[in-house]
Structure 1
Amino acid sequence: MIVRADLDKLPASLRAELSAAGIDIGALYDAIESALDEDLPEPAPGEMPAEDVTSVATIPLDARARGDFAVRDAGVVAGLGVAALVFHYVMGDDVDVTDRVPDGTRVQPGDVVMRVSGPTRGLLTAERTALNFASHLSAIATATATWVDAVAGTGARILDTRKTLPTYRHLQKYAVRCGGGLNHRSTLAEMALVKDNHVIAAGGVVPAFQAVRAAYPGLPVEVEVTTLDELRDLLGAGCDRILLDNMSTEQMREAVALTAGRAKLEASGGLTVDRARQVAETGVDLLSVGALTHSVSVFDIGFDLENQPA
């Protein structure tokens, strides 16, 4: 059975840490609750509570254990604080989380990155949900770090996109930061990004840019271009952030020369990590990579249990 600790009953220091890292604690709490409901849904009125039948059948009620989060891959960990919050949600105060390494730490196979002690049933009930969060977010952080390493020393930065899992954007973008990447806009309201369909609707890159400027003076505006002629037109109109969509390396190099520092240039489309350094060395400022969040493989973390005296 899950305690389902109220948000304000979860450790204040952990909540403060996650909030300071830019994670929406209310949204995280809801995500944890929804994730655990997939395993043990809250009963309808008059129904018996759902329980982890395997753990109830095999583990005495008073049994206690310690579990180690041990990584099986090399990479960058993220989401360990989120995983810790899962255990507190399930067991309330009757759980201790120790030896947690900071998110963003580079690790090697076999490293223990967090230890959790408490009732054995509760640990195993929370285990998979905690691992799902940590494994997924560590995969994003690791992928991001791979791209960051690929462009190291060039001056270019790695940027994410809005190609995120619905309702998990705040967590996935947090993991990108753990891997050394930057976040693009998180909402449609905080920045204007004029893409090809907006350009078609507005009648060109310059009319689209000017329409945004007129409607939202002072709001950051970025405009996507596919040709060097469009780039020239935008520079003449005063656009200071331009996305180079699916351009060749040579076109990007020419775009940098034409821009001569008048605007920040973001490369996007058709990028691979093997090509990343070549693109960065053209002089572009940013490489935006949707794959950081939409195409990562799981980062393998295990939960190794050790019984303790009751």
Structure 2
Amino acid sequence: MISTRRLGGLEVGAQGLGCMGMSQAYGVRDDDTESIATVHRALELGVTLLDTANVYGAGANEELVGRAIAGKRDQVVLATKFGIVWDKDGGMSARGDAAYVKQSCEESLRRLNVDHIDLYYQHRVDPDTPVEETWGALAELVQEGKIRFAGISEASAETIRRAHAVHPVTALQSEWSLWTRGIEGEILSTARELGVGIVPFSPLGRGFLAGSVTSVKDLPEDDMRRGLPRFAEGNFERNMAIVEALRALAEQKGVTAGQLALAWVQAQGDDVVPIPGTKRRKYLEENTAAAELELSEVDIEAIEKAAPLEAIAGERYPERLARAAGK
């Protein structure tokens, strides 16, 4: 059973579970039976924060999570999101007008088959709608009892401050790992100044840092990572050298490279609750073991030396997604 941490007013397991991959992005959708079993095992291990979104699998992921938590609602801190809109060509934009926020919430409540959402995130910031309007709508949803707390994803320090001035921001969900460290500095310090918890997504670099993918050819044809610059030919091989360096350190501790990388994220503060994603119990158990792995300052220094930022090859996203994704 893992320990607990606080995200603002929420007490959660020190590690959460990202559910997106159960329904999209990382290859063909598997039998939902194993995904549901993974959620149930997560709860047994003390992983209480379950993370989904309205766009994952075009709503199918929320429905799946809803089925998984049926009869177990009181064990779960349920997080979902609104705000990303995909066009027919695969381009991403954001929407945050008040009517959309409220409509999205109602739709998510229905798909999840619950009467309230514990943590409702603005998935991406709409450049055409003042964040004050979006957060005014979220404040009303809190007053109506449809959501308990509100969060924001991939936002700048200024945007976090503006949102927080309307209604308290409970959590910031942004990509943070050994190879994506853009929130360090102003964004992180602002969040901590305001008492905003940190929820890193992709803490294993979309699985790359775990070392399980040894070639792009290992990935299914429909896997989103085939289109990411860091997995591109040339970049992939350079980034794999980082994994090998982490693996050498991990072997000294009797753990995997992925566990070491995940423990590094966990060690960034008691207000940090990463949400590694998996749809299999085997990997869930490996991930949760990392939540209790203690690292010394010497360990952390060695890990960061093995994965220096200047050695990371490739951007986070391809150009068509970079702007909307908060490059």
TM-score by length of 1: 0.36
Larger radius of gyration: 1
TM-score by length of 2: 0.35
